[in-house]
Amino acid sequence: MSETRTHCPYCALQCAMTLTAHDAGPLGSAPAVTVAGASFPTSGGRLCRKGATAAQLLGDRPDRLTAPLVRDHRDADLRETSWDEALDRVVSRITALQRRHGPDAIGVFGSGSLTNEKAYSLGKFARTALRTSRIDYNGRFCMASAARAATEVLGLDRGLPFPLTDLDAACTVLLLGSNVADTMPPFVQHLQKARGLGGLIVVDPRRSATAHLTDDGAGHHLAPAPGGDLPLLLSVAHVLLAESLVDDDYLSRRTTGLGAFRHSVGEWWPERAQAVSGVSATRIRWLARHLAAAARASKAGGDPVFILTGRGVEQHRDGTDTAKAAISLTLLLGLPGTRHGGYGTITGQGNGQGGREMGQKADQLPGLRSITDPADRETVARRWGTTADALPGAGLPATQLLHTLGTDRGVKALLVHGANVVVSAPDVRHVERGLRALDLLVVCDVFLSETAAMADVVLPVLQWAEEDGTLTNLEGRILRRRRAVTGPAGARSELWILAELARRLDSPVPLAEEPEEVFAEIRRVTAGSRADYSGLDWERCADVAPYWPLTQTRGTEPSTELSTTGEPVIGTPRLFAERFGHADGRAHLGPITVRPAQPASAHGLTLTTGRLMEHYQSGTQTRRVRELLAVHPEATVSVHPATAAERGLEDGARAELRSATGTLRARVVLDAGLRTDTVFMPFHFGGTGAANRLTAGLLDPLSQMPEFKSTPVDLHPISAADDE
């Protein structure tokens, strides 16, 4: 029996856990693995249902990919083959396509679930071995709006610029568009004091599990219409300014652009916002005054105040502006960079933060450097052993990359790593058509996902407990994920796969195969960048979990918080204490406008999508865990009872949803916590139950985030005969 301390394979809370591998049973069988929570500040030793059952993904499973698969022609079935044949086929097809169409004929799609080392190597591989600009990742569907907003206003993109445990002392937490009680249950323990003081305020169009935390006087739930968050926030800002409830001293010392921001919110008086947002003018004024009073009390020696955003307010065509409005509220209150509170966004994917720092994003190089900045290009190229001129420029954001597959202006081949795009991307029917039009689709995965099932080549890879690596959690901590068990003999690390492909492509820039080697390279390449990892130590990350930026010269910061081994916190747990990330050291307020809403459906219904407690992302992992699938085995649509009665829908019956992009069928769940003009679907299911059959490729012009949360739909009952 052996024990290994590591971290959960799911969300960005990255709960600590201990894996115990027990002795193998019958000859040739794999050892059984059990999971237990371990002490860690973000999770307090707790695990959710997903983490507690994560070990079921390990071991000798019949659905595990254990050998490369290839398809001999478009209509043929996948068959097992050798690694040499699979890699030779990939290289020969890539070489032929690039010879005919140029380097950008090849696209790469990454993931926020990859370790820092794999995300870094993927970006380096794309830009040096393939020489393609066409790389992006599924974080574009998750954190893009919040990242763009934080960069524009605060000058730096880190999800939580303070330790999550700072929330433990908060008197007020405004939680916008995040259902943490379902998506990351151990997070809820950090809201207990705010709940006890009646200061948890949840903004969500449905009465989610998190909204229910406000019951019995623990807080307040505001239910705007889908897409009504931005007018609501601008109107709160209007009240703060109109009633002189802002921190004028803080604004004059630490911000610029107040005049332009003030002008843009001037038209959003509460009565006007009420008509658009669905939240009453009375509640808007109450929210503004409550936040202002709590902030004043904090500065007089009271408890801090925080405003947090999640995907519910960010996955919109105006998601960046909505996140900017939330940040701007905290600036009006004088909170960021002080002990009185601040703004943060709750990162979703396990390595959502690190994934976008390592260079797999279309416009970024490692260390949050910009691929369009000459100085950044020169620095990274020199450290990679190549020239800035040899690096490609900025690529296409994820939705554009996927929606142009196989066209004259799109890629002819796509390499997918750790993503299931035919479930997670908007307008998935369009994406499916594009994947079929490709000359080559290569998917690296642990299981045969819906996307892998369409591939020409499937490469089996190691998973979370079978390899070493680091991840960066929602608060900027760099964590060590440790190998606890041995993976199947036929599976390979993606680091090995990328290095081997680069070698076979005669790349002038070699790639390291071992995680610790890549980690050392990340330290060198990010040195001096905004996301500086140069002061990290491979072994200490397993115990200390330091915060970036951490330079080689930075010492420890005095703190009452201790690491898992009792050592002081290392790195920079709290940003912006002295200056913001812009060159002038100030936060940049600016004008924010509201774009016209989409035309309503004939039934006046709007679909919003989200997650369930039992499932994660596209469901490739959790739909393979028996206990989780038993709780929620199929796609459902939640409908208010009054809406259901009006349309002749019954609880448990099947219904058909239609949008401008597609149709699907799902089982009805009655939910009195929804607005009557809103229906809700989880996005974890594939095939005909994929919620993204209905969503369109409408994008935020700043972040290129798709509009996932507000899709006009029609809803109809279907008979049992019609459903056959």
Residues 388 and 505 in one domain: yes
Residues 424 and 342 in one domain: no
Residues 292 and 435 in one domain: no
Q: Tell me, what's the pLDDT at 551?
A: 85
pLDDT-derived band of residue 28, with 50, 70 and 90 as boundaries?
very low
Q: Are 334 and 249 in contact (CB under 8 A)?
A: yes
Residues 89 and 199 in one domain: no
Amino acid identity of 322? Answer: T
Q: Tell me, what's the pLDDT at 601?
A: 72
- Closest C-alpha among 480, 542, 484 to residue 117: 480
pLDDT-derived band of residue 553, with 50, 70 and 90 as boundaries?
low
- Tokens 């130590």 sit at which residue? 537
pLDDT-derived band of residue 97, with 50, 70 and 90 as boundaries?
very high
Q: Tell me, what's the pLDDT at 541?
A: 87
Q: Tell me, what's the pLDDT at 498?
A: 98
Distance CA 344, CA 582 (A): 18
- CATH label of the domain that carries residue 215: 3.40.228.10
Domain-embedded: residue 362: no
- CATH label of the domain that carries residue 402: 3.40.50.740
Q: Tell me, what's the pLDDT at 559?
A: 44
Q: Peptide bond preceding 591: is omega within 30 degrees of 0, i.e. cis?
A: no
Q: Are 545 and 573 in contact (CB under 8 A)?
A: no
Strands 364-365 and 369-370: antiparallel
Cross-strand bridge partners of residue 670 = 639
Distance CA 338, CA 574 (A): 9
R_g of the chain computed on alpha carbons = 25
pLDDT digit string (tens) for 435-471? Answer: 999 999 999 999 999 999 999 999 999 999 999 999 9
Distance CA 527, CA 331 (A): 30
Q: Tell me, what's the pLDDT at 565?
A: 47
Look up residue 619 and give its two tokens: 């469901």
- What is the span of the domain harbouring residue 679? 605-717
The three-state secondary structure class of 680 is: strand
Q: Are 330 and 174 in contact (CB under 8 A)?
A: no
Domain-embedded: residue 388: yes
Higher pLDDT pick, 559 / 134? 134
Strands 413-417 and 69-71: unpaired
pLDDT-derived band of residue 30, with 50, 70 and 90 as boundaries?
low
Domain-embedded: residue 593: no
Residues 480 and 509 in one domain: yes
Domain-embedded: residue 495: yes
Return the C-alpha torsion angle 402, 406, 410, 414, nearest 10: 60
Q: How many Cβ atoms sit within 10 Å of the Cβ of residue 179?
A: 23
Domain-embedded: residue 163: yes
Distance CA 165, CA 169 (A): 8
Residues 150 and 279 in one domain: yes
Handedness of CA 398, 140, 71, 453 (dihedral sign): negative
Q: Tell me, what's the pLDDT at 259?
A: 97
Question: Residue 388: phi, psi to the nearest 5?
Answer: -60, -35
Cβ neighbours for 413, distance < 8 A, ≥ 6 positions apart: 93, 94, 97, 105, 106, 107, 438, 439, 440, 441, 442
Q: Tell me, what's the pLDDT at 567?
A: 55
Residue percentage of the chain with pLDDT more than 90: 90
Q: Tell me, what's the pLDDT at 324?
A: 98
pLDDT digit string (tens) for 300-352? Answer: 999 999 999 999 999 999 999 999 999 999 999 999 999 999 999 999 899 99
- Closest C-alpha among 567, 549, 6 to residue 536: 549
Residue finishing a domain among 301, 321, 346:
346
Q: Tell me, what's the pLDDT at 17?
A: 96
274-to-221, 229, 232, 251, 281 alpha-carbon distances in Å: 16, 11, 8, 28, 6
Amino acid identity of 291? Answer: L
End-to-end Cα spacing for the chain: 51
Strands 135-137 and 106-110: parallel
The three-state secondary structure class of 145 is: helix
Residue finishing a domain among 542, 565, 597:
542
Domain-embedded: residue 166: yes
**Degrees to nearest 5, angle at CA 652 with 650 and 656:** 75
Q: Tell me, what's the pLDDT at 74?
A: 84
pLDDT digit string (tens) for 620-655? Answer: 999 999 999 999 999 999 999 999 999 999 999 999
Strands 478-481 and 605-610: unpaired
- Closest C-alpha among 139, 181, 168 to residue 49: 181
pLDDT-derived band of residue 719, with 50, 70 and 90 as boundaries?
confident
Residues 394 and 496 in one domain: yes
Residue finishing a domain among 522, 542, 562:
542
pLDDT digit string (tens) for 139-174? Answer: 999 999 999 999 999 999 999 999 999 999 999 999
Residues 176 and 226 in one domain: yes
pLDDT-derived band of residue 137, with 50, 70 and 90 as boundaries?
very high
Residues 428 and 537 in one domain: yes
Q: Peptide bond preceding 549: is omega within 30 degrees of 0, i.e. cis?
A: yes
Q: Tell me, what's the pLDDT at 557?
A: 43
Strand locations in 411-453 (E) = 413-417, 440-445
Please report the DSSP string for 380-409 in residue order.
Answer: HHHHHTS-GGGS------HHHHHHTTTSTT
Residues 467 and 613 in one domain: no
Length of the chain: 724
Mean pLDDT, rounded, of the chain: 94
- CATH label of the domain that carries residue 678: 2.40.40.20
Distance CA 363, CA 650 (A): 48
Question: Residue 220: phi, psi to the nearest 5?
Answer: -140, 145
For 521-543, what is the mean pLDDT?
93
Domain-embedded: residue 563: no
Cβ neighbours for 55, distance < 8 A, ≥ 6 positions apart: 19, 33, 34, 35, 465
- Closest C-alpha among 140, 289, 302, 161 to residue 587: 161
- CATH label of the domain that carries residue 42: 2.20.25.90
Domain-embedded: residue 588: no
| Residue 72: pLDDT over 80 | yes
Question: Residue 713: phi, psi to the nearest 5?
Answer: -140, 160
Cβ neighbours for 352, distance < 8 A, ≥ 6 positions apart: 12, 112, 139, 142, 143, 159, 474
CA 59 to chain centre: 28
Query: Quick one: DSSP state of residue 706?
Result: B
Sheet-wide strand order for 16-21: 2-7, 16-21, 33-37
pLDDT digit string (tens) for 285-297? Answer: 999 999 999 999 9
Look up residue 346 and give its two tokens: 């709750």
pLDDT digit string (tens) for 218-248? Answer: 999 999 998 899 999 999 999 999 999 999 9
Number of domains present in the structure of the chain? 4
| Residue 673: pLDDT over 80 | yes
Distance CA 682, CA 171 (A): 32
Element (H, E) at 296: helix 281-299
Residues 517 and 498 in one domain: yes
Residues 85 and 186 in one domain: no
